[in-house]
Structure 1
Amino acid sequence: MAKRSVKLSTYGIKYEPISTINSQALADFVADFSDDLQPEVKLESKELHKKECIRRWKLFTNGSLNFRGTCLGIILKLPQGDIIPLEIICEFDATNNKAEYEALIMGLQLAKDLQIMDLLVFIDSLLLNNHFNESYAVKLERLALYLQIIKKLAYGFEAFSLSQVPRQENVEADVLANLGASLRIPPEIRIPINYTLVLTIEDPSNKPVDPNHHDQTTNMTIIKDPNSQPLPQDPNFQDPNI
């Protein structure tokens, strides 16, 4: 196409590629001219919408603070399911609401830096969600400034939505934020994550039985000492076989 465009330009002709028609516009056009095809068109439109949602990136953010400090947890999920985790330790004091705002701003800025244009955002802060959706009025001046920054960043995406979810659905970002707030780890230290597939002590009931193996038994005679005293029993001991 580029070579043709160059050749046509020598004759004063400008080549313009055919733009892609919006899927919903095409569906509406066909539906207007054929009542029989309307059910099929609606079904196709739904399938196209599902495919568009699959291509969307997902952002989960959370802010946490305790007596050790403030930390932000950010999880950015690719459409394929992979994740980009980010933990930010803050060298300043903040309230819980400010930490939530800071985490969301940092997450949106990360998505911007990666040139993501289609983003679904999930947070567990009901206050922040209602501020963004204008269900609650923002009373504090600092939070109002935070909200202006978030909306400015949100308007830069081609498709954007923000939803409040239960904490258990935002657990990954929550764990990152709480870990950073609880452990003041220097940046040069890395925490390795290892996996183990078996228990240290194997459960005998799960051990396969070899039919060719025969245990050697030994006859033993137990002689009781008449002067021995019974050992005291642990009151907290519980027999696992009971």
Structure 2
Amino acid sequence: MTARKLRSYFLSHPTVVLTNSPLGRVMTHAEVSGRMVKWTVELGEYDIEYKPRAAIKAQALTDFLIEMIQPVEEKVWRVFVDGASNLSGCEVGVVLVSPSEEKIKLALRIDSRVTNNEAEYEAVLAGLQAAREVGASRVIIYSDSQLVTQQVKGTYEAKNEKMLKYLGLITARATSLTDWSIEQIHREENAEADTLAKLAASNRNKHPGSSLFYPTDALY
């Protein structure tokens, strides 16, 4: 097939066929019969030399495969979250920091009565949602809430029904991520997210009927 399609090249240049089969001996043997005679006659007009294929060293092949399939490491997004509650509802601040150190800031508000711990859970949910929206696959969530971070990690046991529901929502929302974790930080290190949560509260006081953002999967 190759000789027919590339006949002009086969006629103009010598051809070397690398093979580990006894093809050369078969094709050049005088006592060929049947279809082999036809193939021998057809290929006889070309200058073809048959050589054994050199073995590829195993380590060279292994190194090549490792180089070709080496995955590109996905960069990590950092997400700082903070939540606060008051008589009129819940405010959340989220700061997303991209691998190139660019920041996206969100001030969110939920018009439902929650406790302070529940507000911190809402902040984690909002942070995961925001990370998913920007296409992040590897995420580290930073929160200054010891209870929430330790319950999400499994260090503290969650017995309250609301806390268990929040843990279920967090697990479900994180399924779209390749890898994620949550870490506790000091309140001073979470100042930007805290300021954004206060901004959401300020907007509530100025515009009681408006909402900057309403996260999905709310419990209320």
TM-score normalised per structure 1: 0.54
One of 96, 100, 109 as aligned partner of 1:76: 96
Partner of 1:160: 180
Structure with the higher fraction of residues in helix conformation: 2
Q: Is the 8 A contact 1:66 1:182 kept in 2?
A: no
Please provide the CA RMSD for this pair: 2.3
Instruction: Please say if residues 77 and 136 of structure 2, whose CA atoms lie closer than 8 Å, have aligned partners that are also in contact.
Output: yes
Distance 1:94 1:83, change over 3 A: same
- Say if 1:134 and 1:75 are closer, same or farther in 2 by CA, change over 3 A: same
How has the CA–CA distance of structure 1 residues 19 and 115 changed in structure 2, closer, same or farther, with 3 Å as cutoff? farther
SS in structure 1 of the partner of residue 182 of structure 2: strand
Q: Residue 137 of structure 2 aligns with which residue?
A: 117
What amino acid is the match of 2:191?
Answer: V
- Note if contact 1:129-1:162 (Cα within 8 Å) is conserved in structure 2: yes
Post-superposition offset of 1:90: 1.4
**Pairing 1:94–2:143 present:** no
- Asked if 1 retains the 8 angstrom alpha-carbon contact of 2:88 and 2:113, the reply is no
State the secondary structure of the residue aligned to 2:130.
helix
| Alignment CA distance shift 1:132-1:161 (3 Å) | same
| Alpha-carbon offset, residue 76 of structure 1 | 0.6
Q: Which residue of 2 aligns with 1:85?
A: 105
Partner of 1:176: 196
The alignment-based identity, stated in percent, is 33
After superposition, give the CA deviation of every residue in 1:42-94 in whole Å (9 maximum; x if it has no partner).
Answer: xxxxxxxxxx58x3111011111234532111111111111110111211111
Quote the Cα distance in structure 1 between the aligned partners of 2:130 and 2:211.
22
Note if 1:64 corresponds to 2:84.
yes
Q: 5+ unaligned residues in a row in structure 1: which ranges?
A: 1-17, 24-51, 190-242
| Residues 68 and 181, structure 1, Cα contact 8 Å, conserved in 2 | no
1:182 deviates by 4.0
Q: Where does residue 70 of structure 2 map in the other structure?
A: 21
CA offsets per residue over residues 1-60 of structure 1, 9 Å max, x none? xxxxxxxxxxxxxxxxx853258xxxxxxxxxxxxxxxxxxxxxxxxxxxx58x311101
Residues 88 and 112 in structure 2, CA contact (< 8 A), matched pair in contact too: no
Larger Rg: 2
- The number of residue pairs the alignment matches comes to 143
Structure-2 separation of matches of 1:153 and 1:94: 20
Determine helix, strand or coil for the equivalent of 2:82. strand
Q: Within 1, Cα distance between the matches of 2:68 and 2:163?
A: 42
Q: Which runs of 5+ in 2 are unaligned?
A: 1-66, 213-220
In structure 2, relative to structure 1, the CA distance for the partners of 1:188 and 1:58 (3 Å cut) is closer
Look up the equivalent residue of 1:80 and give its one-letter code.
Answer: S
Equivalent-residue separation in structure 2 for 1:150 and 1:112 (angstroms):
12
The aligned amino acid for 1:157 is L
Q: Aligned letter for 1:75? A: V
Question: Distance between the aligned counterparts of 1:88 and 1:135, measured in 2?
Answer: 28
**Distance (Å, rounded) in 1 between the aligned partners of 2:83 and 2:133:** 21
CA distance in 2: counterparts of 1:124 and 1:154, whole angstroms:
20
Q: 1:147 matched to which residue of 2?
A: 167
In the superposition, the TM-score normalised over structure 2's length comes to: 0.59
